[in-house]
């Protein structure tokens, strides 16, 4: 008689617990989306369905400035972190195992293991010293802070793609006397590109939604969309914040869906 493999889905109550977990996760998000269409200012009352709050958010100059700043920071941070993550992934996978490889892997993924507020405080102190010594200020500090935090998020899908690649084509290119650069540009990079794009999108989403590091590193007048929303919530929670949150939610879902489609395994 064939032995049946263990599966958690066969445990009593698994489906019920899974449904309750999904409800606990998504009912608050669904509530936020629904109340973004509420005509009443207060959350306790429901008036009529309206798109006025989306129109007000779209016409708000502060929201536009914060959105543009967020997209700029996320775009530059994604490019920088993805480039560094690609080089790190190539350096840790395209060679034989060496002493200290595990330590390097741990250091690359350090932002994932250390509480984000620790990273934020450390970057704030470092950039504060640099500003004091050089007198240079600007948005570059936020971009560098986001890029440093996003490196492991870009590194993981790129490394996974490299580890799943077949080395036959690279070996064939070497047999045909292709240089290392030509092999990388003509063979490795095109095959690796889905992983690179997936890593860049994941880094972009992480940077776009970040609050803690931005709150500690930013200077006056450098609010991103999440920190602008946080400041408005401290004053009064209105459906305009719900409308902005819904917009961010849609962007994040679109990016994560594209990430899933790029990284899923094909038969």
pLDDT in tens, 107-162: 888 888 888 899 899 999 999 898 888 888 888 899 999 999 999 999 988 888 88
Is 68-222 a CATH 3.40.50.300 domain? no
Closest CA to 73 of 240, 168, 213: 213
Closest CA to 73 of 26, 8, 142: 142
Residue 264 has pLDDT above 80, yes or no: no
Q: With a threshold of 0.75, does the pTM exceed it?
A: yes
Q: What are the start-end ranges of the H helices in 140-238? A: 140-163, 168-175, 180-183, 189-209, 212-217, 225-235
Contact by Cβ (8 Å): 170, 136: no
Match 């950039």 to its residue by tokens.
Answer: 127
Residue extents of the structural domains in the chain? 68-222
Query: How confident is the prediction for the chain on average, in pLDDT?
Result: 83
Q: What percent of the chain has pLDDT over 90?
A: 18
pLDDT at 116: 87
Quote the CA–CA distance of 140 and 145 in Å, as a whole number. 9
Tokens of 259: 């990430």
Residue 164 has pLDDT above 90, yes or no: no
Torsion sign across C-alpha atoms 34, 72, 160, 175: positive
Residue 76 has pLDDT above 90, yes or no: yes
Closest CA to 33 of 267, 247, 262: 247
Residue 247 has pLDDT above 90, yes or no: no
Quote the CA–CA distance of 199 and 78 in Å, as a whole number. 8
CA angle centred on 219, ends 214 and 225, rounded to 5°? 45
């Amino acid at each position: 008689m064939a032995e049946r493999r263990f599966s958690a889905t066969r445990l009593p109550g698994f489906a019920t617990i899974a449904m309750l977990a999904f409800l606990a996760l998504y009912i608050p998000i669904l509530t936020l989306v629904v109340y973004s269409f509420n005509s009443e200012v207060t959350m306790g009352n429901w008036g009529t369905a309206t798109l006025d709050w989306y129109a007000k958010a779209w016409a708000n100059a502060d929201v536009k400035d914060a959105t543009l700043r967020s997209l700029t920071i996320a775009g530059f941070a994604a490019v920088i972190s993805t480039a560094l993550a690609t080089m790190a992934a190539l350096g840790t996978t395209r060679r034989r195992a060496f002493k200290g490889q595990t330590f390097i892997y741990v250091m690359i993924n350090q932002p994932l293991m250390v509480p984000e507020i620790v990273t934020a405080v450390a970057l704030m102190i470092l950039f504060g010293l640099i500003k004091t010594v050089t007198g240079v200020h600007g948005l570059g500090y936020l971009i560098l802070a986001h890029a440093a935090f996003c490196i492991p998020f870009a590194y993981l899908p790129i490394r996974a793609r490299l580890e799943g690649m077949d080395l036959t084509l690279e070996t064939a290119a070497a047999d045909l006397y292709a240089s290392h650069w030509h092999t990388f540009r003509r063979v490795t990079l095109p095959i690796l590109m889905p992983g690179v794009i997936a890593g860049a999108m994941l880094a972009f989403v992480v940077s776009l939604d970040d609050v803690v590091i931005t709150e500690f590193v930013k200077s006056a007048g450098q609010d991103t969309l999440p920190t602008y929303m946080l400041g408005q919530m401290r004053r009064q929670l209105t459906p305009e914040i719900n409308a902005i949150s819904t917009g961010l939610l849609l962007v994040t879902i679109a990016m994560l869906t594209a990430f899933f489609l790029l990284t899923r395994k094909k038969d």
